[in-house]
């Protein structure tokens, strides 16, 4: 690669990295205390905010495929920039609009633009083989890492601002500014401007790989993603409930979430980089197997003597986090590699919808199972992980049959 090409690639990586990090920073300052801001600082009734979020989630699911079509037809980078700029305007309006009906509409629009930005972002990453200075699943791992760093730092700042309700508007304006900066960085990066076809990426004389657009492999990966989202939802939503109800130590959940966040921030790039010797499907199977092990550890934490239970509980968090580090970028890479460049937006819109669908099932399953028994939390994680592992093994078999080439 020439010196000019190296400089251009470095410039692209730098702008895109800054945009992703700043966007996460703004979101981290607002998301943890968003309900508190609307209900306390803006005096918007909680039911209005709840309805806005619920309707927004429903509209987002209904409009997922049209959003994917827009990404493919208008260009992923253009949609990504427009979505960030649109969200900047919405958060600017959040700062001074006093009327509940207007807030309701803005919440719905924000949900829609948020989903559009994620579909466009993953499409850009899929079309930019060396984004973040990495390839394969490592690109998606670094996206997650940058996002988590931004969320973590932003949440710390928000915790300070939340001590005074009059200061929480600062977090809203900071979020608006972060989306402007992110949009400008994405615009300047040039990432995803062109789509590399499979014929362009093959070496001379190399056989054409079988690429399955909305075929069996893709849909299997979507099902696996759905299980992963439900598992993450059960873990994130019910960890405090389990710690308080069955361990009488709510502080365990706080430590658990801290361990989970900082393990991802500090260990995810290192673990994924060393896991590149495996295929994305291999990493997915390994991560799902570790999820199964974490469920077993949580079951053990529920039946051990009291003195050992907190330590076993935290061990379950550690094991779960290692599995999470492996499965998230691996499933993202598998979904991306199963889609030709020209339909990545449509495919990503379906794949990302797993978050919305899984967000419905996780509270329902957890609400009935976790409260029923002290072992319910671990048993549910174990059961869901086994289902995800089974689907992952079917993905491996389908990939072998189709001879899909998807390098790490």
State the DSSP H helix or E strand holding residue 216, giving kind and residue range, or none if neither. helix 216-245
Q: Tokens at residue 381, please?
A: 């994680």
Distance (Å, rounded) from C-alpha 407 to C-alpha 405?
6
Distance (Å, rounded) from C-alpha 349 to C-alpha 123?
9
Query: Which of the 8 DSSP states describes residue 207?
Result: P
CB-based contact 20:147 (threshold 8 Å): yes
Distance (Å, rounded) from C-alpha 24 to C-alpha 264?
15
CB-based contact 348:127 (threshold 8 Å): no
- Domains, in order of start, for the chain: 9-194 (1.20.1250.20), 216-402 (1.20.1250.20)
Q: How far is CA 96 from the centre of its chain?
A: 30
CB-based contact 323:290 (threshold 8 Å): yes
Task: Say what the pTM is.
Answer: 0.79
- CA count, 13 A, side-chain hemisphere, 15: 17
Torsion of CA 156, 162, 167, 173, to 10 degrees: 60
Digits of tens for pLDDT over the chain (408 positions)? 444 444 444 545 667 778 888 888 888 777 767 777 788 777 888 788 878 878 888 888 888 889 999 999 999 889 999 999 999 999 999 888 878 888 889 888 998 998 999 899 888 888 776 665 555 667 777 777 888 788 778 877 777 776 676 777 888 888 899 999 988 888 887 655 444 444 333 444 433 343 434 577 888 899 999 999 999 988 887 887 788 777 667 677 778 888 888 888 888 878 877 777 778 888 899 999 999 999 999 998 888 887 788 889 899 999 999 999 999 888 988 888 888 878 888 899 999 888 888 877 887 787 777 777 778 888 999 999 999 999 999 988 888 877 544 444
CB-based contact 136:333 (threshold 8 Å): yes
């Amino acid at each position: 690669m020439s010196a000019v090409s190296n400089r251009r690639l470095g410039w692209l990586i730098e702008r895109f990295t800054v945009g992703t990090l700043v966007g996460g920073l703004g979101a981290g300052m607002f998301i943890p205390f968003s309900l508190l801001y609307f209900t306390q600082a803006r005096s918007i009734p909680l039911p209005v905010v709840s309805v806005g979020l619920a309707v927004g989630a429903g509209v987002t699911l209904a409009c997922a495929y049209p959003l994917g079509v827009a990404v493919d037809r208008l260009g992923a980078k253009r949609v990504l920039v427009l979505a960030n700029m649109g969200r900047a305007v919405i958060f600017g309006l959040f700062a001074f609009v006093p009327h509940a009906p207007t807030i309701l509409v803005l919440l719905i629009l924000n949900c829609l633009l948020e989903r559009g930005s994620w579909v466009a972002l993953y499409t850009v990453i899929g079309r930019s083989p060396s984004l973040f200075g990495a390839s394969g699943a490592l690109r998606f791992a670094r996206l997650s890492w940058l996002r988590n760093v931004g969320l973590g730092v932003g949440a710390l700042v928000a915790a300070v601002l939340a001590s005074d309700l009059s200061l929480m508007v600062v977090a809203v304006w900071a979020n608006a500014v972060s989306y402007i900066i992110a949009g400008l960085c994405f615009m300047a990066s040039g990432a995803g401007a062109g789509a590399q076809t499979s014929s362009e990426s093959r070496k001379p004389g190399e056989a054409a790989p079988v690429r399955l657009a909305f075929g069996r492999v893709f849909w299997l990966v979507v099902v696996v993603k759905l299980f992963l989202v439900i598992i993450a939802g059960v873990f994130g939503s019910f960890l405090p409930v389990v710690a308080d109800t069955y361990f009488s130590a709510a502080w365990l959940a706080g430590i658990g979430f801290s361990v989970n966040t900082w393990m991802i921030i500090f260990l995810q790039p290192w673990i994924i980089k060393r896991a590149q010797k495996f295929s994305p499907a291999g990493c997915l199977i390994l991560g799902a197997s570790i999820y199964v092990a974490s469920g077993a550890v949580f079951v053990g934490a529920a039946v051990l003597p009291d003195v050992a239970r907190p330590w076993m509980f935290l061990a379950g968090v550690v094991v779960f986090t290692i599995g999470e580090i492996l499965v998230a970028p691996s499933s993202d890479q598998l979904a991306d590699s199963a889609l030709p460049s020209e339909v990545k937006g449509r495919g990503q819109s379906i794949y990302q919808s797993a978050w919305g669908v899984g967000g419905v099932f996780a509270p329902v399953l957890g609400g009935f199972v976790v409260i029923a028994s002290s072992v319910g939390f671990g048993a549910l994680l174990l059961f869901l992980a086994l289902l995800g592992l089974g689907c992952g093994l079917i993905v491996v078999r389908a990939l072998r049959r189709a001879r899909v080439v998807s390098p790490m």
